[in-house]
Amino acid sequence: MRHASKNSIVVFAVVVTAAGAGCASAPPPRRTEATPPVTVAAMAPKALPSCPDGDRDGVCDADDRCPTKVGPQAAFGCPINPCGDSPLLVLVQFMYDSSAMPAQKSGVQTMDPVLNTVAKAIAQDSSCRVCVLGYASEEGSVEYNEDLSRKRAKAVQDYLTSRGLPTMRLPTTGMGERCQLVPENTRELNRRVEFRRLQEGESCPTECSS
């Protein structure tokens, strides 16, 4: 998804930061998205007999990254465990070309429940340091997308620190349009964040998770 850097639970993946406001030049021309932004409600699995759901968590097996474990749609059907050994993907409802966290609207599911659970899990494990990785879709230039993905990661970091977590336990990085999660025709799903636990002395990764 090359979002005009492009790069929507979370992980939960924001208000444009001061860094974004300081850009000296306007982003390069870019294509418009093939489809409009998707809301969490719109992405909720349909209750159809043709949608197998072995663990009965409301996420179709075809989309469930943890088909034998219960987890929310925002985390692709996986348990919210940012301090575990496996990376935690969270679909944040970022709008096209935006790093603003999804606004709260009556009747629309927001990222708050998922991100609040992430914050609680990290707070309960004093040894847990988690890198917040931001991603963007493919519209726009590589450079613009990387900057956008960094702003998205920072937005999620700001949300978590507002819940009492120290910034030093939540380093951030932007992966830009690398590591596309889904085909280009479903670009909205690439506007996400990822949480990866860091070991002592370890820095944020630069490679895609498997």
pLDDT in tens, 107-149: 444 667 889 999 999 999 999 999 999 999 888 899 999 999 9
- Taking Cα atoms as reference points, which of 149, 144, 167 lies closest to residue 157? 167
119 in any annotated domain: yes
210 in any annotated domain: no
- Collapsing DSSP to helix, strand or coil, 130 comes out as strand
23 in any annotated domain: no
203 in any annotated domain: no
pLDDT band at 196 (very low <50, low <70, confident <90, very high): very high
11 in any annotated domain: no
207 in any annotated domain: no
pLDDT for position 45: 42
Beta-carbon-side half-sphere exposure of residue 173 (alpha carbons within 13 Å): 14
Q: How far is residue 114's CA from residue 105's CA, in Å, rounded to a whole number?
A: 16
Average pLDDT over all residues of the chain: 77
Residue type, 53: D
50 in any annotated domain: no
CB-based burial of residue 182 (10 Å sphere; 0-12 exposed, 13-18 middle, 19+ buried)? middle
| Neighbour count for residue 189 (Cβ, 10 Å) | 20
Q: Please give the tally of structural domains in the chain.
A: 1
Return the CATH number at 72. 3.30.1330.60
pLDDT digits 0-9 by tens, 64-87: 889 999 999 889 899 999 999 999
Q: How far is residue 63's CA from residue 45's CA, in Å, rounded to a whole number?
A: 9
pLDDT for position 50: 62
Helices (H), the chain: 18-21, 40-43, 112-124, 142-161
Q: How far is residue 102's CA from residue 22's CA, in Å, rounded to a whole number?
A: 22
- Contact between residue 195 and residue 131 where contact means Cβ atoms under 8 Å apart: yes
CA distances from 202 to 43, 90, 106, 169, 205 (A): 35, 22, 41, 12, 8
- Contact between residue 28 and residue 142 where contact means Cβ atoms under 8 Å apart: no
pLDDT digits 0-9 by tens, 87-98: 999 988 788 889
123 vs 43 pLDDT, higher one: 123
Looking at the predicted structure, is the pLDDT value of residue 180 above 60? yes
Q: Which pair of structure tokens corresponds to residue 63?
A: 């989309």
CA distances from 95 to 69, 81, 98 (A): 29, 25, 5
Task: Classify residue 195 by its DSSP letter.
Answer: E
Q: State which residues form the domain around 111.
A: 31-45+55-198
The residue assigned the tokens 């336990």 is: 169
